[in-house]
């Protein structure tokens, strides 16, 4: 991503207040039909010769030991999210990734619109939610990188990150993670909600 554009998005994310409480996120997760077992994306509408099945992913996943993606346990046979089963994992300290959250309330929609107005980019945002009984073995995916830039903003709580080989605390100022940079969360001493913006 162009450094100027990345800087503009970082500035917007840094200067936008997101007053979201844990109770708000729990209410979001109770919205029926908002969290199907599979979302589809990366549809190529330019091809007229054949239909290619788009890539799919599950919008709610808990992080298990050794990078295990926990998701089947809290979806029923018809692919509907079961809040009460998921909540048991949350209460045990498993961190949850919630995908595509920038439509959930007015402050998130406003952030998405500000970024679009400044850059023309339609961006994706994910929540990472960790509860009070933090299971320190399940706070993050294993040390990994992406082929896109990421900006991470703390909405509440704090967490310690490993960025390449450096330890960084995320609490007030966002962290910018450039494409190819290895990163992971190494501990969450408090409840936390973070927003990741994928560019």
Give the pLDDT band (50/70/90) at residue 66: confident
Q: Which residues of 128-163 are buried (b: 16+ CB within 10 A; e: fewer)?
A: bbbbeebbeebbbbeeeebeebbbbbbbbbbbbbbb
115 is a domain residue: yes
Q: What is the CATH number of the domain that holds 16?
A: 2.60.120.650
Q: Count of domains in the chain?
A: 1
- For the chain, give the percent of residues with pLDDT over 70: 90
* pLDDT tens digits, one per residue of 6-37: 999 999 999 999 999 999 999 999 998 899 88
At a CB cut-off of 8 Å and minimum separation 6, what does 53 contact? none
Give the pLDDT band (50/70/90) at residue 41: low
- This model's pTM is above 0.85: yes
Domain containing 151 equals 3-30+81-198
What is the SS3 string spanning 2-31?
Answer: CHHHHHHHHHHHHHCCCCCCHHHHHHHCCC
17 is a domain residue: yes
Q: What is the DSSP letter of 100?
A: -
């Amino acid at each position: 991503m162009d450094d100027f554009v990345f800087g503009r998005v970082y500035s917007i994310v840094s200067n936008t207040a997101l007053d979201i409480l844990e109770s708000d996120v729990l209410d979001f997760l109770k919205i029926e039909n908002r969290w199907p077992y599979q979302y589809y994306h990366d549809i190529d509408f330019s091809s007229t010769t054949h239909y290619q099945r788009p890539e799919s992913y599950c919008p709610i996943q808990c992080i298990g030991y050794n990078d295990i993606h926990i998701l089947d346990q809290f979806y029923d046979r018809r692919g509907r999210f079961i809040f009460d089963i998921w909540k048991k994992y949350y209460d045990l300290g498993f961190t949850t990734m919630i995908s595509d959250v920038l439509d959930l309330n007015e402050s998130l929609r406003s952030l998405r619109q500000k970024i679009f107005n400044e850059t023309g980019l339609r961006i994706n945002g994910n929540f990472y939610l960790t509860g009070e009984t933090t299971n320190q073995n399940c706070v993050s995916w294993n040390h990994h990188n992406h082929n896109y830039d990421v900006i991470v903003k703390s909405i509440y709580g704090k967490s310690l990150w490993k960025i390449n080989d450096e330890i960084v605390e995320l609490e007030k100022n966002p962290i910018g993670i450039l494409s190819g940079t290895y990163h992971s969360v190494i501990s969450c001493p408090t409840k936390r909600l973070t927003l990741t913006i994928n560019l």
